[in-house]
Amino acid sequence: MTLETFWFIVIGVLWTGYLVLEGFDFGVGMLLAVIGRGEDAAETNTRRRLMLTTIGPFWDGNEVWLLTAGGATFAAFPAWYATMFSGFYLALLLVLVSLILRNMGLEYRYKRDSEAWRRGWDLIIMVCSFLPPLLVGVALTNLVHGVPINAAGNFTGNLFTLLNPMSLLGGLTLVAVSLTHGAFYLALKTDGPVREKAASFGDVSGPVAAVLAVVLLVWVNIHTGDAASWIASAIGAIALVVAILANRVRRDGIAFLGTFLAIAGTVATYFLAVFPNVMPSTTDAAYSLTVHNAASSHLTLQIMTGAALVFTPIMLIYTAWTYWVFRKRLTMHVIAPQTDPLAPIDVPAHPAGADEATV
């Protein structure tokens, strides 16, 4: 195996890690509107705080996988990075803005005890949990579908070029799978009415996600697949069916593991189907970017490999430790009453006639 191929696999693994981990917290964010709705404003607030508490220790760590995938692409395949980020500029900028606003919502929602304040941030969290999986799904599917690239390796299309039927299906599929992944995660991490509602939602969203995923994977494989990508697709489809069946009998752990493997199988299908290209050209196949003509120098890849062998195990151990520490189920009873950290402090007045020095 060449270093170019090795780093292509590493980038595929990083994208898999990002989508399986951030996929469920995207789902939890979108489900605030459905599962987070109570009988009154107080119950709604408690439900939503419970849901967001389940992802509280993880969501920012999950985003490290996206940063690492982008950084690895830049260092290992600079030509791929340049063409992709210039061609997908508007879509990726919208992803970045959505992630920033979503993170602000997750942090600032608790800063004021105000119903209007919470409603505003909740809306931002829901919208900005929907847009990234939609846009990332569109972008990744375009890498398999192909985009117009000229002889100089430059993207010659526009935003509407990216909105072809296959890529839009890829975006919708990732949204549906993220919703199901998030519902199964909530069923695994909570108890009481939130768990029951999450599992019931998964009973509906799971089949919808399965139909979309099967159509997408068959389309991708017919378009540019091979035997290996068909096998990866079959593994992903079977895992998703097992997840749906496990959720129906309320085996929460198996259901969550099933959607985890389904997303991993889908990403593997993409990378296997497009290899040895990294960005096929629809203008002329000879203009396609491959793992060979888009890669950095051999010395650069050697240095990157040494760094990866040291730091990747550390990152994996830390991530596993975090999930182990916060592995318990949560209920609404453990959610503390809402407070306002910015409320004025009530300082008692000095007693009349008292000596200030003695107060």
Where residue 341 falls among pLDDT bands split at 50, 70, 90?
confident
CA distance linking residue 308 with residue 129, whole number of Å: 30
Cβ contacts of 85-93, under 8 Å, gap ≥ 24 = 86/154, 86/155, 87/147, 87/155, 87/157, 87/162, 88/139, 88/142, 88/162, 90/159, 91/135, 91/138, 91/139, 91/159, 91/162, 92/135, 92/139
| Closest to 31 (Cα-Cα) out of 169, 197, 174, 191 | 197
CA R_g for the chain: 23
Where residue 246 falls among pLDDT bands split at 50, 70, 90?
very high
Q: Do 210 and 241 meet the contact criterion of CB atoms below 8 Å apart?
A: yes
The per-residue pLDDT for 358 is 46
The per-residue pLDDT for 359 is 38
Mean residue pLDDT across the chain: 89
Q: What is the mean pLDDT of residues 334-352?
A: 70
Q: In sequence order, what E strands does the chain have? A: 277-279, 289-290
Three-state DSSP at 47 gives: helix
The torsion angle over the Cα atoms of residues 73, 74, 77 and 83, rounded to 10 degrees, is: 100
pLDDT at 353 over 90: no
Structure tokens at 169: 């299906």
The reply to whether 308 falls in a domain is yes
Main-chain phi, psi angles of 349, to 5 degrees: -70, 155
The reply to whether 245 falls in a domain is yes
Q: What is the mean pLDDT of residues 165-178?
A: 94
Residue 159 makes CB contacts below 8 A (sequence gap 6+) with 90, 91
The mean-pLDDT minimum among 18-32, 34-48, 194-208, 241-255 falls in 34-48
The reply to whether 27 falls in a domain is yes
pLDDT at 102 over 80: yes
DSSP class per residue in 135-192:
HHHHHHHHHHH-B-B-TTS-B---GGGG--HHHHHHHHHHHHHHHHHHHHHHHHHB-T
Q: What is the pLDDT of residues 134-143, one digit of tens each?
A: 999 999 999 8
Q: What is the mean pLDDT of residues 85-101?
A: 90
The reply to whether 354 falls in a domain is no
Fill in the DSSP letter of residue 332.
G
Task: Count Cβ atoms below 10 Å from residue 215 Cβ, excluding itself.
Answer: 12
Where residue 1 falls among pLDDT bands split at 50, 70, 90?
confident
The reply to whether 337 falls in a domain is no
The distance from CA 181 to its chain's CA centroid, rounded to whole angstroms, is 10
Where residue 111 falls among pLDDT bands split at 50, 70, 90?
confident
Q: What is the pLDDT of residues 317-327, one digit of tens each?
A: 988 999 999 88
Q: What is the pLDDT of residues 267-289, one digit of tens each?
A: 999 999 998 999 999 888 889 99
The per-residue pLDDT for 333 is 78
Please list, residue by residue across 88-111, b when 16 or more beta carbons sit within 10 angstroms of its beta carbon and e when fewer do. Answer: beebbebbeebbebbeebbeebbe
Please list, residue by residue across 336-356, b when 16 or more beta carbons sit within 10 angstroms of its beta carbon and e when fewer do. Answer: eeeeeeeeeeeeeeeeeeeee
Q: What is the mean pLDDT of residues 217-233?
A: 91
CA distance linking residue 190 with residue 187, whole number of Å: 6
Task: Count Cβ atoms below 10 Å from residue 45 Cβ, excluding itself.
Answer: 20
The reply to whether 349 falls in a domain is no
Three-state DSSP at 345 gives: coil
Please give the tally of structural domains in the chain: 1
pLDDT at 331 over 90: no
What global pTM score does this model have? Answer: 0.89
Q: Where in the sequence is the domain holding 314, given as residue range(s)?
A: 3-332
Helix (H) or strand (E) holding 295: none
The reply to whether 61 falls in a domain is yes
The reply to whether 183 falls in a domain is yes
Percentage of the residues of the chain whose pLDDT score is greater than 70? 97
Pairing mode, strands 277-279 and 289-290 = antiparallel
| Closest to 88 (Cα-Cα) out of 11, 171, 155 | 155
Q: Do 124 and 102 meet the contact criterion of CB atoms below 8 Å apart?
A: yes
pLDDT at 357 over 70: no
The per-residue pLDDT for 60 is 86
Percentage of the residues of the chain whose pLDDT score is greater than 90? 55
